[in-house]
Homo-oligomer: A and B are copies of this chain.
Amino acid sequence: MDRLLKELNFRDQLIPAVIVEADGGGALTLCYMNEEALRKTLSTGVIHLFRRSKGRVMQKGESSGHTQRVRELRIDCAGNSLLFVVEQRVAACHLGYGSCYFRRYDSRADALEVVEQRVFDPTEIYGEEA
């Protein structure tokens, strides 16, 4: 992984990773990786991230089983971000939507609207605290 690390710029030990679905499926989410999360992602073939709110590395979908299998890794021109093309199991968002970007902003009305259908019920997956 030396060649890759040489190209990347971590800030506060983190680098943002855009996650998009394979076969033109669109953007699913954005997460952050530290070197450990990146190593685990590459060695296991499934996305691991550094969850800033918990201060630790986790497998994406650790509790839900909604994992993301890596098909391809791209890096940007400046080495400031990663782009993973993945195969998503079930859905990316913990609120039950396929993508975390399920809300569209209408700037004229200054309003947010949900523009995706829920694909699972979060309370069934995560319990009532979801």
Binding site for B on A (CB under 8 A): 1-4, 7, 16, 18, 20, 24, 26-27, 29-30, 42, 72-78, 80-81, 83, 93-95, 97, 100-105, 107, 110-112, 115
Q: Report the minimal beta-carbon distance from A19 to chain B, rounded to whole angstroms.
A: 10
Q: List 8 A-B contacts (CB under 8 A).
A: A3-B110, A4-B105, A4-B110, A24-B24, A29-B76, A30-B30, A30-B81, A75-B105
Q: Is the CB of A94 within 8 A of B77?
A: yes
Residues of B close to A18: CB separation below 8 A:
18, 27, 30
Assembled-state Cα–Cα distance A74/B92 (Å): 15
The answer to whether B104 touches A77, judged by C-beta atoms less than 8 angstroms apart, is no
